[in-house]
Amino acid sequence: MSVAFISHSDCLLHDLGPDHPECPARLHAINDRLIASGLEMALRQFDAPQVERALLERVHDPTYVAHILDDLPEEGRLWLDVDTAVSKAGVCSALHAAGAAVVGVDLVMRGEVQVAFCAVRPPGHHAGWAASGGFCIFNNVAIAATHAFEAYGLERIAVVDFDAHHGNGTEELFADDPRLLFCSSFEHPLYPFCGVGTHSDHVVNVPLDGGITGAVFRERVAERWLPALERFAPQLMLVSAGFDGHAEDDMSHLRLREPDYRWATQRIKTIAERHAQGRIVSVLEGGYALSALGRSVAAHIDVLIGGDGAG
Ligand SMILES: [Zn+2]
């Protein structure tokens, strides 16, 4: 199967300071693992352009976009919230990250590839209409979904988010849009401390207790996400692919392992093949333990390519 790997060297520019977990080394860890495993040979590499401002302004409050694009100091960082800052160079990372997700949609919708993985930073799923959060500036997956609705006239898109943290930004942005089914699993209670009180037929939130292993994750996903996704029959699957629920990642207390990410990816792929002509655009979110991140992304991509999803 033809799989695109979309990134840009400018995604390395975003710098939150020494010892910050959301660091450029995350992308190096992914690249190193893909090369070492030989998976890189099976991927088609694409450079991500910067997202267009007009699209950003349809997903986020134009005042918020202007604050980020126009108010940046020449030197130093602009703090957007307690966790999230951006500099002149770092905003390039954010623009390319969103642009990667848009190109991913274009590639799969035009049939140039069936699946795309966007190795980008900063992550996006905590960014809402007018707010950053949890290292996220622009909501890459929400931007991809908006582009897919507008440019290709899709009527049903599913976003699956298996990051350890609830994708509150994505939920907020599509709260009133039944064309998008949002399926999120996350540790609760944990940042951003929401997602359990949602009552919507197009949001399927699966809170998980800290300390649970993959067996519980699989059971809950199989019970909650899969029937909802089957009923919804998405025309495109977007994935907020966060790997900070890995047992080696201290950003959460979940105890997931590579076989669990393989399993989840295979389930996503099966739904996409049944309903969406196999179309998947997966966008990196969290994942901060570098070795575990590299291995987990490799496992995810291996299944996207067509490797064994068992385990
Ligand atoms: Zn996370």
pLDDT along the chain (311 residues), means of 10: 93 93 98 97 98 98 97 92 93 98 98 98 98 98 98 98 98 98 98 92 97 98 97 98 98 98 98 98 98 98 85 48
pTM of the model: 0.98
How far is ligand 1, taken at its centre, from the CA of residue 124, in Å? 10
Q: Which of 194, 190, 172 is nearest to 249 (CA)?
A: 190
Distance (Å, whole) CA 272 – CA 280: 7
Read off the amino acid at residue 146.
T
Q: Which of 92, 109, 90, 13 is nearest to 51 (CA)?
A: 92
My answer on whether omega of the bond before 192 falls inside 30° of 0, hence cis, is yes
Q: Which of 282, 172, 177 is nearest to 232 (CA)?
A: 177
In sequence order, which residues have a C-beta less than 8 Å from that of residue 197 and are 6 or more positions away? none
Look at the block and give the residue holding tokens 């966007």.
Answer: 118
How far is ligand 1, taken at its centre, from the CA of residue 166, in Å? 8
What's residue 251's pLDDT?
Answer: 98
What φ, ψ does residue 111 adopt, rounded to 5°?
A: 80, 15
What's residue 310's pLDDT?
Answer: 55
What's residue 198's pLDDT?
Answer: 85
Residues, Cβ < 5 Å to ion ligand 1: 163-165, 242, 244, 286
Question: Under a CB-based contact definition with an 8 Å cutoff, are residues 174 and 184 in contact?
Answer: no
What's residue 197's pLDDT?
Answer: 87
How far is ligand 1, taken at its centre, from the CA of residue 139, in Å? 13
User: Is residue 124 helix, strand or coil?
Assistant: coil
Read off the amino acid at residue 301.
I
pLDDT in tens, 105-157: 999 999 999 999 999 999 999 999 999 999 999 999 999 999 999 999 999 99
Token readout for 88 is: 């002149």
Distance (Å, whole) CA 167 – CA 139: 10
How far is ligand 1, taken at its centre, from the CA of residue 110, in Å? 31
Q: To the nearest 10°, the Cα dihedral for 179, 242, 44, 144? A: 30
What's residue 302's pLDDT?
Answer: 98
Angle at 297 between CA 282 and CA 105, to 5 degrees: 15
Token readout for 143 is: 């931007």
CA 117 and chain centroid, separation: 9
How far is ligand 1, taken at its centre, from the CA of residue 111, in Å? 31
What's residue 199's pLDDT?
Answer: 85
How far is ligand 1, taken at its centre, from the CA of residue 167, in Å? 8
How far is ligand 1, taken at its centre, from the CA of residue 311, in Å? 23
How far is ligand 1, taken at its centre, from the CA of residue 305, in Å? 24
How far is ligand 1, taken at its centre, from the CA of residue 112, in Å? 30
54 burial level (CB within 10 Å; 0-12, 13-18, 19+): exposed
How far is ligand 1, taken at its centre, from the CA of residue 115, in Å? 23
What's residue 2's pLDDT?
Answer: 87
